[in-house]
Structure 1
Amino acid sequence: MNANFESHSISRRSFLKASGVVGAASILAACGGSSSSTAASTSGAASGAAAPAADAITDYVSFETAKRELETWNFLYSQSASDMNVTTNCWDGLLSFDCYGKAVPAIASSWEHNEDSTVWTFHLRDDVDWCDVNGEVKSHLTSKDFLVGLEWVLNALKNEAFNTSMPSETVVGAAEYYDLTKDKGDAAADMTYEDMLAAGVGVEAPDDYTLVFTCKSPCPYFDTVAAYNSFYPASEDLIKELGIDGFRSCDYSTMWYNGPYLIEEYIQQNTKSFIPNPNYYAANDCTRFEHHTITMIPDLSMGLQLYENGEVDNIDLTESNLTTITSDPNNEHNKFLCEKRPTKYSYQMHLNFQRKDENGNLDENWNKAVSNRAFRQCFYKGIDFTNYYARTNKINPLKCENDYYTMPGVCYNTKGEEYTTLVAKEMGFDSQAYDGKTMIRLRDNGGDIADLKKQAMEELSAIGVTFPVHCYHYIKSGDTTALDTATVLKQCFSESLGDDFVVLDIGTYVSSIYKEVRNVQLHSILQNGWGADFGDPVNFLGQEVLSDDNAYYAQTTSWIAAVEKDPQDYQKDLLADYQEFTDLVTAAKAIVTDTDARYAAFAKAEASMLNNALCIPCLFEVLWCLTHVNEYTKINAMYGPCNYKAVNWETRQGDGYTTEEYEAFSAAFDAATKA
């Protein structure tokens, strides 16, 4: 480390300690070959053996906004990307991914499956240890730890149904064991991995370094399932030491580590500081930062100044930042503007079908309106989000347009057709000419949105709905960027649907959107992003179905599960639409030997969801940034929790990467993935 960089690092750390950022919330969002000059680093990112360049950053500082503070350190418990983006640096599982999204070894050094993909065998490394926050080795990791981890996840009392769906859908006996623990009530606390094995769950550990899973049916994508945190290990010794409640609520100081970093310091709403884990099994096969800090900032409005001051090594740019930079041809940042790859998350606008007011009373006006199919279709077919997209990507806003529910790139059929193109065919989008501006007109199939609005108003007026209907949207208090974005969204509603029909009301929360808004059902709409946990459409669509404790959005965000238990007369058609969708998902799930038929069936289910507007696809994140990191060397998986693992990143001090360099990185990456 040279003297200039050393001085630079000291000034950054003094800022981080003094910043005192306040406020918190977690959102779901829920896991690079470039040019000849970076070929060696790129190869290393894929193989886990990168060598740092002479000018690489050793003390790396990144950022996160205050609304994305983590809410749990327990990797088995979390389903939120804002948690896992941090803890992926502390916990390793069976597999990881390379910079192209290909599964690569982690704790499992190799794996194979039988001819019909029903039995999967993972061979574990014999040099993995658990250590505490001080780097002291506490226990040696063996196959037993994966049995303990799976039992914890499947135990309804211990993990409270979080992350249960993946093993329940795929592993023999897993769903039945979950139900057994649910029936046991408090007695489930005493159940162990031995009880799980005795109950017939399809997992075994024939020796200390072999793990075998038996699937319910052929599952050719099971390696992507096993890479998710449902299948991560846990130490029985630690659980005994902390107790069930203590382990569930463990934090960085009490949990044990087996990943590349330890937490040096954590100041809530301020900083998370990582240092290398001295006991990391892959220490000699990867590059890590000597010090890695994530600093929390109130919102992105102050981000550019922090980057200019050298306080952070990368920053995402807001619409106003881009306007300031691009409107001045002499601005020093113009040649350093880098358009990032799309994140792996499909963002949707989730509708709440059982909204309550601040007194806990049902909001009958909204609930009646949103139960009406024509009303919902006005949202999906009628709102032009172009100006809203520009808040994320001012230069190329339509790169952010999302017209489907499942994220593109999650899976392909045997003909090489990407799954969402099958959804497009089901909905008739592929047969119509793209108008060059937005897909909105294609959604309406040439019809007049005014007719749909008129239909909705007539049908709703007949059951006592008053207009305009108030639609409640919540943002973090004090977040100026979020307020500006919400204001633009309000204008999109107004201009597309008319203030006589629906008005977007902007509310605020103090700390946690989950605790203060979602869990008490205050929202009318809630925008969340979902990233695939494994490579199959059921991971997306299964979050919305009826009568499933593991359907994340149905249980926690749309509250359709609560509606199903106690429906009002005006919600019968809504439940019928949901039942149609659920039945189609169930039928698709049952197809296990024909991938093409399976994906075609899921496409029918997704088309049903969209045509009935049960959820409103909203956007993709395609951001512009200033950065000292080549993101094409980062892990780039469409599923799993590994993408923020800070290993083998190519970085450099001095000037950031240029627009020209990033365009070359992108072109080389695309060429490599198509080769």
Structure 2
Amino acid sequence: MSRRLGVILGFFFIHMVILSGCGSKLPDIENHVFEEAFKDDAQVFRTLYSSEVQDLHYLRTISAVDTAITANIVDALVDYDSKGNIIPGLAKSWESNDDATEWTFHLRNGIKWVDCEGEYYADVVADDFVTAAEYVNNAANGCDCQYMYSTGSVVLNAQEYYDYTSYLISPDSFSEAPKKVEASELGVIALDSKTLVYKLERPCTFFPSVLSYTSYLPICRKYLNEVGSMFARSNKNLLYNGAYILEYYQPHEKQILVKNPYYWDSDHVYIDRIENYYDTESVSIAPEQYMEGNIDKAVVSPDKLDEYMENPQIMDEIHHSRPDVSFTYFYAFNFAPNFDSKYQPENWSKAVVNSYFRKAIMASINKSEIMKIYEPYNPESLVNNTFTPQGVLSINEIDYTSMGGLEAIKERDSYNPILAKKYAKVARQDLSNEGVMFPVKVLMPYNPNVKGWQEEAYLIEKQIESTLGKDFIDINVQVGGDTGYLIGARRSGKYAFMKCRWGADYEDPQTWTEPFMDDGEYMFWHLTDNSNIMKIREEWNARIDEASRITSDIEKRMETFAQAEEIILKNTIVIPLSIMNGEGYVMSKLNDFEGEYAPYGMANQRYKNYKLHEDSMNIEEYEAEYKKWLVH
């Protein structure tokens, strides 16, 4: 049997015989609580996937593959509309005290926890959020998203409790015992069943924007105590309060989510059932399966895009997905190299602190040409010239990238071969006086598991060397890291120059400063003893400290953070490259602009508010919708 025929027959069989996720017997559709979701006229959205869920325990994981399930089965205190505005979720309202160090949330009535059969278990109450805070900040539970309690918002005693529980696990790893902190001392308090208070260690006007992260989702204390370590081992060991229930879950086979009949906002859940089918070849077979009517969404691989766009029948179903401003890609200079002597780390250390050397490299890079690897038809749409992407932050209809001197930077094309050569000439003279050997070796690793990165790395090498000359610079492209790319290359400092990525954690410019902090594990500029870099860093730190203290005048706060970013960019500490390409080109019966949207958290992964359309938009239709959406 061919794979294609097997898939088609498999779909046919699945639609004829759907097993209940909470048992091996067929569901009794006449009496089944999910009867509506399995009617003949039910709205069903079908996809293929190839990356399997690793952990359904939403308080432990932050993997995008895992949270694609979480986002649809457990609701947060806040929600988002299609424009990225925070709106009420499980909390119907909230307020803070005058200095934004205490936030009070009022839960709506009628929120229910149900099991995988849709049976009522308990009401959602304020203590569910207290339980979550206690669980996440207990180091014994190994929650990947614990940092959201101690970064930016800083919930009272959260980090102290985490440190104390870490000490109890491994006292030998501490030089001295930390202060004893009990779970009851956390700044998360249930005043009553419907009133929840978060106490913070410092003012935080953007606190609601952290609340849709997994670590702030509720968990029922009674249920957690009942099932213990079995919690989230399967869909049977979970409770649900979100738009959908994971009715069937068999790894490496399929996932079926059905509309939660007891959902508090069911009027805005239009798709009755979501069916995700596992296939290791989903990337290659999805477009064909979409055209044959077996699935409702397919991502088009860049290497197949030209072929499909030449086919009139197929091209009318293809459009670009919305660019993703939640992440920024940039090239980082390593100011404290830790790589092999054959790449001359001492020589690099002398060269990289010279601003003309860094500017020469920046002016040699043609960002638009690089972006053609990922977006062949409109590469300029992905190019980013500021560290913080345009469109991610704004106030009073003023975009953050128009503040603090960033306006001129975001509009400029930094690619300028003539200027690059002039910079290189000055740099060569300066560096020769410092004893730098030419050509300067540049170790540039890449991650082979990321599609397009190898091609990008060699294109960058060609651009820089052809502009500046191989007698000036020698780019050494290398597969990064034997023990994993992040640990083996970036975090260990085993690079001179490399592409990095950073994403927003909350709605405030402070989140975009974290890679430059001493614990950022990026360019390691805090470890250099070069007076010029130290001076730049001191100036940046002073501006960041000033901005962080501004908590009442948000526009002034953003302006001051933008001034700090301008310092980074004018001194070429990093080279901004692009925003994310979203999912690239897709065929989809969903309209991107109907669903929830936020440049942080997991709102973008929700199916709530989406309607199933008869066919996919084409490029022209999508661009028209995108332009309308941009008018916030």
TM-score, structure 1 as length reference: 0.73
Equivalent residue, structure 1, for 2:89: 106
Residue segments in structure 1 that go unaligned for 5+ positions in a row: 1-6, 16-50, 549-553
Cα distance change of structure 1 residues 582 and 73 upon mapping to structure 2, 3 Å threshold = farther
**Among 618, 621, 625, the residue aligned to 1:658:** 618
Q: Secondary structure at the match of 2:95?
A: strand
Quote how far apart the aligned CAs of 1:325 are.
Answer: 4.0
Q: Secondary structure at the match of 1:647?
A: coil
Higher alpha-carbon deviation: 161-170 or 283-292:
161-170
Equivalent residue, structure 2, for 1:93: 76
Which whole-Å CA distance do the structure 2 matches of 1:613 and 1:234 have between them?
Answer: 45
Contact 2:158 2:187 in 1 (8 A): no
Residues 167-210 of structure 1 show CA distances to partners (whole Å, capped at 9, x for unaligned) of 55435x62x5413542564338999x993553xx5442110111
Quote how far apart the aligned CAs of 1:72 are.
Answer: 5.2
Quote how far apart the aligned CAs of 1:420 are.
Answer: 0.8
Letter in 2 for 1:620: I
Equivalent residue, structure 2, for 1:34: none
Residue 334 in 1 paired to residue 315 in 2?
Answer: yes
Q: Please give the residue correspondences for 1:158-307 in structure 2 after superposition, counting only pairs within 5 Å.
A: 158-159=141-142, 162-165=145-148, 169-170=152-153, 174=156, 176-179=157-160, 181-182=162-163, 185-187=166-168, 195-198=182-185, 201-215=186-200, 219-237=204-222, 256-259=239-242, 260-262=244-246, 264-265=248-249, 267=251, 274-276=257-259, 280-283=263-266, 285-293=268-276, 295=278, 304-307=287-290
Equivalent residue, structure 2, for 1:473: 445
Equivalent residue, structure 2, for 1:586: 545
**Among 588, 608, 614, the residue aligned to 1:627:** 588
Cα distance change of structure 1 residues 178 and 658 upon mapping to structure 2, 3 Å threshold = same
**Among 349, 365, 368, the residue aligned to 1:386:** 368
Contact 2:401 2:407 in 1 (8 A): no
Q: Secondary structure at the match of 1:316?
A: strand
Residues 449-483 of structure 1 show CA distances to partners (whole Å, capped at 9, x for unaligned) of 12323444555564555635233332335x76554
Cα distance change of structure 1 residues 102 and 140 upon mapping to structure 2, 3 Å threshold = same
Residues 488-540 of structure 1 show CA distances to partners (whole Å, capped at 9, x for unaligned) of 44444444554441425141679964466555555555545444332211112
Quote how far apart the aligned CAs of 1:649 are.
Answer: 1.5
Quote how far apart the aligned CAs of 1:614 are.
Answer: 2.9
Contact 1:387 1:492 in 2 (8 A): no
Which whole-Å CA distance do the structure 1 matches of 2:361 and 2:295 have between them?
Answer: 39
Cα distance change of structure 1 residues 219 and 184 upon mapping to structure 2, 3 Å threshold = closer
Contact 2:383 2:579 in 1 (8 A): yes
Equivalent residue, structure 1, for 2:67: 84
Letter in 2 for 1:338: H
Quote how far apart the aligned CAs of 1:134 are.
Answer: 6.6
Which whole-Å CA distance do the structure 2 matches of 1:576 and 1:264 have between them?
Answer: 58
Contact 2:360 2:424 in 1 (8 A): yes
**Among 503, 514, 536, the residue aligned to 2:508:** 536
Quote how far apart the aligned CAs of 1:418 are.
Answer: 0.9
Q: Which has the larger radius of gyration?
A: 2
Quote how far apart the aligned CAs of 1:287 are.
Answer: 2.6
Residue 606 in 1 paired to residue 565 in 2?
Answer: yes
Equivalent residue, structure 2, for 1:143: 126
Residue segments in structure 2 that go unaligned for 5+ positions in a row: 1-5, 15-36, 172-177
Cα distance change of structure 1 residues 310 and 369 upon mapping to structure 2, 3 Å threshold = farther
Cα distance change of structure 1 residues 224 and 238 upon mapping to structure 2, 3 Å threshold = same
**Among 446, 450, 455, the residue aligned to 2:421:** 450
Q: Secondary structure at the match of 1:582?
A: helix
Cα distance change of structure 1 residues 75 and 490 upon mapping to structure 2, 3 Å threshold = farther
Higher alpha-carbon deviation: 616-625 or 148-157:
148-157
Letter in 1 for 2:564: A
Contact 1:150 1:231 in 2 (8 A): yes
Which whole-Å CA distance do the structure 2 matches of 1:628 and 1:242 have between them?
Answer: 39
Letter in 1 for 2:475: V
Which whole-Å CA distance do the structure 2 matches of 1:665 and 1:497 have between them?
Answer: 43
Which whole-Å CA distance do the structure 2 matches of 1:11 and 1:313 have between them?
Answer: 16
Counting aligned pairs with the same residue, the percent is 23
Residue 439 in 1 paired to residue 413 in 2?
Answer: yes
Which whole-Å CA distance do the structure 2 matches of 1:215 and 1:373 have between them?
Answer: 41
Quote how far apart the aligned CAs of 1:392 are.
Answer: 2.2
Letter in 1 for 2:391: G
Equivalent residue, structure 1, for 2:44: 58
Equivalent residue, structure 1, for 2:603: 642
Equivalent residue, structure 1, for 2:34: none
Residues 251-273 of structure 1 show CA distances to partners (whole Å, capped at 9, x for unaligned) of 767665443232733536x8655
Q: Secondary structure at the match of 1:643?
A: helix
Q: Secondary structure at the match of 2:394?
A: coil
Which whole-Å CA distance do the structure 1 matches of 2:352 and 2:259 have between them?
Answer: 50
Letter in 1 for 2:197: V
Q: Secondary structure at the match of 1:601?
A: helix
Quote how far apart the aligned CAs of 1:626 are.
Answer: 2.4
TM-score, structure 2 as length reference: 0.78
Contact 1:228 1:640 in 2 (8 A): yes
Quote how far apart the aligned CAs of 1:303 are.
Answer: 5.3
Contact 2:441 2:475 in 1 (8 A): yes
Equivalent residue, structure 2, for 1:503: 475
Letter in 2 for 1:399: S
Residues 11-56 of structure 1 show CA distances to partners (whole Å, capped at 9, x for unaligned) of 45899xxxxxxxxxxxxxxxxxxxxxxxxxxxxxxxxxxx999988
Q: Secondary structure at the match of 2:602?
A: coil
Q: Secondary structure at the match of 1:440?
A: coil
Contact 2:73 2:240 in 1 (8 A): yes
